Chain A
């Protein structure tokens, strides 16, 4: 899909595949037939550049035909290079410029907790780790901490890369756990590729009812494709045809090694 598009963000998309799959096939209360269902959970992708993994997962979940994935980034497509809510039913927000997804999620969670009496609805937001350089995130972290937005569950994709290199070289984020804790958040750290850990973490986060939760998910950028893994140079580029064929071959060797549960095709 990224190869056909000719551009896009490969590494982060692959690294988030497990978490996004967990969300759409287990965690989120959603209905692909009725994307506007009034009691649904909400998922926001704040680091909108990883939207290929969201599109792919939404297609598999039944929001739109899988064949439409080939239109990614093409003129007239509903699958814009960065997600646009008004273009595609099922997308909950428009994102790309980094740092404001947590604010939007906080507004939604505030409404559910204080204005709508909707204790059953949760708001999930994925952020990149490099994205945390943006100050807007910390305004939102302070806000959600103040109002103890317990229906807000954030995920930080801790893959340690951003466009210019390693996050700790570009702008150090550690002590990341300590930062979130000091803002009043419950912090859960997990292996972002261990499905049991992922599901446990979301379950734990929903059980915390006196403050917002953040799941720091340690992921491998380019996960599943050995020549992409850990390499920041794959952050913002798409594979060429040969690389795409090699990558898909690598990913297919994982067939049978992953327990895909009830949603296996």
Chain B
């Protein structure tokens, strides 16, 4: 049984919605109150990354670096080297999009506890189009030794994740999104770096989600249930280190895995789980996400529909997958 405390209004039409980045803004301010070594840097996107809450509360510990993402993270590396805990905020398209090498050399290889905060990831940026829709970041950051990679599922979890990385002493990447998204967790739901959570129990297939896509999987499971398919839902907010124990246990039980994410499936959550299962038990996997193409302009809801990331689309794909693929059973 899952003992995860889901939002009781999860399936209501008026489920509370909030941008995931809003939780980061609150978490950073709270972390700043708890630890005076926390500093925040921003590359001319203070309000849209929600860093303004910290900047207003602690103006002496806020550093505006201008539109200069390479400098943003390398200055943060220098601050960390002399004892600070820097949160360096920008849009994912530019950080780590533009400054990956600086992050690798001056933060990850250099092992400095800088927090890379990247908002507006995924196609949910909407009308701004493909240039601003970062889809490759999970893959880019996941392959970097020493780097923690976290994709919170809603604003409440983003707040907890922000406070957690403030204390973890490690280079960390936090992926945030722009649009309002439904809140599926509660303040009492657990969050620990490196942990995946079973949200719903099921027997026929495991649906693995990260970020806002997890909510879609919870709805997907309801649709599948009506069609006689019992789906287990795992929420995987930490992509690295991956909670291999929880994922493997679920795969042993259901024998089929589906991954869903608002990112390139190559190297993303889908890539990470395909690697894990390839190493341990070659389970049939269906990877849902963006498949080797760029995004485009449109409203977020239109784009989620266009790219097949809504519960209705996912449920159809999962039904076909369950019919096509036999469950994997270990050789006894």
A interface with B by C-beta (< 8 Å): 42, 84-86, 92-97, 99-100, 103-112, 114-116, 135-136, 139-140, 142-143
List of B residues within 8 angstroms of A108 by Cβ: 78-79, 81-82
Chain B contacts of A139 at CB under 8 A? 65-66, 68, 70-71
Query: Per-residue 0/1 for B76-116: is the Cβ within 8 Å of any A Cβ (1 yes, 0 no)?
Result: 11111111101000000000000001100110011100000
Give chain B nearest CB distance to A107 CB in angstroms: 2
Say if the beta carbon of B74 comes within 8 Å of chain A.
yes
> Is the Cβ of A107 less than 8 Å from the Cβ of B79?
yes
Question: When chains A and B are docked, how far (Å) is the Cα of A142 from the Cα of B70?
Answer: 13
Please pick, from A99, A100, A112, the residue contacting B82 in the complex, using a CB distance under 8 A: A112
Q: Which residue of A lies closest to B75 (CB)?
A: A107
- The distance from the CB of B301 to the nearest CB of chain A, in whole angstroms, is 37
In the complex with contacts A93-B110, A94-B110, A97-B101, A103-B79 CB distance below 8 A? no
Partner of A104, one of B61, B66, B77, B84: B77
- For B66, what are the chain A residues with a Cβ–Cβ distance below 8 Å? 139, 142-143
Interface of B is mostly: helix
Size of chain B's interface in residues, with CB distance under 8 A?
A: 28
Cross-chain contact B105 with A96 (CB below 8 angstroms): yes
B39 within 8 A of A: yes
How many angstroms between the C-alpha atoms of A131 and B75 in the bound complex? 18
Rank and list the top 3 A-B pairs by shortest CB-CB distance, nearest first: A107-B78, A103-B74, A139-B71
- Give bound CA distance, A221 to B73, whole Å: 32
A143 engages B68 (CB within 8 Å): yes
Residues of B within 8 A of A (CB): 39, 60-61, 63, 65-66, 68, 70-71, 74-84, 86, 101-102, 105-106, 109-111
Interface of A is mostly: helix
- Which residue of B has the minimal Cβ distance to A105? B78
Residue of B nearest to A116 (CB): B82
Give chain A nearest CB distance to B108 CB in angstroms: 9
Report whether B84 and A136 are in contact in the complex, using a CB–CB cutoff of 8 Å: no
Interfacial chain A residues near B63, Cβ < 8 Å: 110
User: Which residues in B have their C-beta under 8 angstroms from that of A107?
Assistant: 74-82, 86
**A95 and B105 contact, Cβ closer than 8 Å, known pairs A111-B84, A139-B70, A143-B66:** yes
Indicate the member of A85, A106, A107 with the most B CB atoms within 10 Å. A107
Chain B contacts for A94, CB-based, 8 A: 105-106, 109-110
Chain B residues near A143: list those with CB within 8 A: 65-66, 68, 71, 75
Which of A97, A112, A135, A142 is in CB contact (< 8 Å) with B105? A97
24 sample A-B contacts, Cβ–Cβ < 8 Å, listed by A number:
A42-B82, A84-B109, A85-B111, A92-B81, A94-B106, A96-B105, A100-B70, A103-B70, A103-B71, A103-B102, A104-B77, A106-B75, A107-B75, A107-B78, A107-B79, A107-B81, A108-B82, A109-B78, A111-B78, A111-B83, A116-B82, A140-B71, A143-B65, A143-B75
A205 CA / B79 CA spacing, docked (Å): 22
> How far in angstroms is the closest Cβ of chain A from B230?
48
| Least CB distance, B152 to chain A, in whole angstroms | 27
Do A93 and B82 touch (CB < 8 A)?
Answer: no
> Closest B-chain residue to A101, C-beta based?
B74
Provided the pairs A115-B39, A135-B70 are in contact, do residues A110 and B79 lie with their beta carbons within 8 angstroms?
yes
